[in-house]
Amino acid sequence: MSKRKTPCIVTSEEAQRQEEIIKQLRMKNDLEKSKTGKQKHYYIATFGCQMNAHDSEKLAGMLEQIGYMKTDDEKEADFIIYNTCCVRENAEQKVYGKLGYLKHCKDNNDDLIIAMCGCMMQQETVLNTIKSKYKHVDIIFGTFNIYKLPELLQAYLETKETIIDIWEEHKDIVEDLPSIRKYKFKASVNIMYGCNNFCTYCIVPYVRGRERSREPKDILNEIKELVADGVKEIMLLGQNVNSYGKTLKEKITFAELLRRINEIEGLKRIRFMTSHPKDLSDELIMAMKDCDKVCKSLHLPFQAGSSRILEKMNRKYSKEQYLNLVNKIQEAIPGIALTTDIIVGFPGETEEDFKDTLDIVKKVRFSGAYTFIYSKRTGTPAAIMEEEVPEEVCQRRFNELQEVLQPIVAENSKEFLGKKLEILVEERSKNKDSYLTGRTDSGHLVHFEGDSSLIGQFINVDIIEAKTYYLIGKISDN
């Protein structure tokens, strides 16, 4: 793990206030530890996207400064926090199931503190459910105020009453919060928060708020500090990175930001997500082409192939516009790896509409895709749309989509057979102890036999086998 300061965005005064509370809590924890000899542990379960994962790094940083030590065993934890996601219904049901289990943990340990935060907490129906059915939850907060964890913890310890702090909208952006990175050699950096797109199926704008872009100088300074701390690869995060800069006084586009980041010495790779097709400009395509550190991969969700369904989704582009954009990207950057998101079974989707989705998959030939059956989200316009597609039809279409998609992904993987690729070695393989795992510039996963000393390094591997969703290689002799 690597420790550092990272922005979440709040005023310096607010950050200093939280730091003072952290010091007070640390003194109390150290005193208690000196009396009992017991080290307190924390456990964080993260659900959802990379934005949530990055938020969890900040939560971990604050807890460690308070004096807690990380554990991967919930049963060992004195403080358990669930950082939740509400994009899909199954993510919510998984959280509720785990909360039921935590009731037993709480019964066996009166001192256990349970906290909930993240997107689910921003929904009134969820909040009411937790307050009525899961009264063993001690601290509840949302997406806009994670920096207040020390204050909320202090309030709970003083009152022993449930603390609920949910904001309906974003207020401050707080910079300089502690953070614990999973990897020393790569890191995520928020460049913006929230979303203004209001796709009719998506709950994110309601739980993450409207778009707010961070100042470019703060982003650049953060990345420079990360590079000085050993980071070689940066993932720039935003719900729609292509609209970066629109809320700033300084006139700057995402393409211009990429060019500035590309100039940072010591940085090797730049990735970003997520890109909305409606905002992907010619300027950005040229920046991706020109900037040698920007990885030749792009996640470009199309969601549905039918122009009629895309209009119902409020995506603001047609099937033809998406395909034209892809052609433009592929002509400018030959060999770029494209990945996407696809939803099947959106309300009103007909067989013809679904065929349009399959047509895009066949024409673009994606290197990978996140595929979903439409999940109704209460509070979104799509939730009250008529013409709901029957569950069995959704499942059949989903299966058919996989039958078309997977051979294409496999064929793309086979193109790497016999080639020498540079990868950043990330970790030991979870499935085979003697193997390591790394990623290519294009984002492809490579497993190969090697020593743990290679983790965090760039090495060349020869690809000797191609599976559908990963490659197998061996370390190159030269």
Residues 79 and 126 reside in one and the same domain: yes
Query: Locate tokens 């979303």: which residue?
Result: 195
400 domain-assigned: yes
CATH number for the domain spanning 254: value is 3.30.750.210
Residues 14 and 135 reside in one and the same domain: yes
- Per-residue confidence (pLDDT) for residue 1, from 0 to 100: 47
Residues 148 and 287 reside in one and the same domain: no
From residue 56, alpha-carbon distances to 6, 96, 147, 181 in Å are 12, 19, 11, 9
Residues 22 and 119 reside in one and the same domain: yes
State residue 208 phi and psi, 5-degree precision. -110, -10
- Per-residue confidence (pLDDT) for residue 55, from 0 to 100: 85
Residues 107 and 7 reside in one and the same domain: yes
CATH number for the domain spanning 452: value is 2.40.50.140
Work out how many domains the chain is built from and give that number.
4
Residues 156 and 21 reside in one and the same domain: yes
| Cα 411 from Cα 409, distance rounded (Å) | 5
Residues 246 and 126 reside in one and the same domain: no
100 domain-assigned: yes
174 domain-assigned: no
Domain holding 427, by residue range, is 420-475
Residues 199 and 156 reside in one and the same domain: no
Residues 127 and 210 reside in one and the same domain: no
384 domain-assigned: yes
Residues 52 and 150 reside in one and the same domain: yes
Picking from 397, 415, 433, the residue at the C-terminal end of a domain is: 415
- Asked if the peptide bond before residue 357 counts as cis, ω within 30 degrees of 0, the response is no
Q: Consecutive 10-residue runs of the chain (478 residues): their mean pLDDT?
A: 43 75 91 90 86 85 92 91 78 81 83 88 82 89 83 90 76 56 87 89 77 92 94 93 92 96 97 94 97 96 97 96 97 96 96 98 96 87 92 96 97 96 93 91 95 94 95 91
198 domain-assigned: yes
pTM recorded for the entire structure: 0.74
Picking from 415, 436, 457, the residue at the C-terminal end of a domain is: 415
Residues 326 and 450 reside in one and the same domain: no
- Per-residue confidence (pLDDT) for residue 220, from 0 to 100: 96
Which of 93, 92, 60 lies closest to 79, judged by CA? 60
Residues 35 and 141 reside in one and the same domain: yes
- Per-residue confidence (pLDDT) for residue 108, from 0 to 100: 82
178 domain-assigned: no
From residue 373, alpha-carbon distances to 117, 150, 342, 469 in Å are 26, 39, 8, 20
CATH number for the domain spanning 33: value is 3.40.50.12160
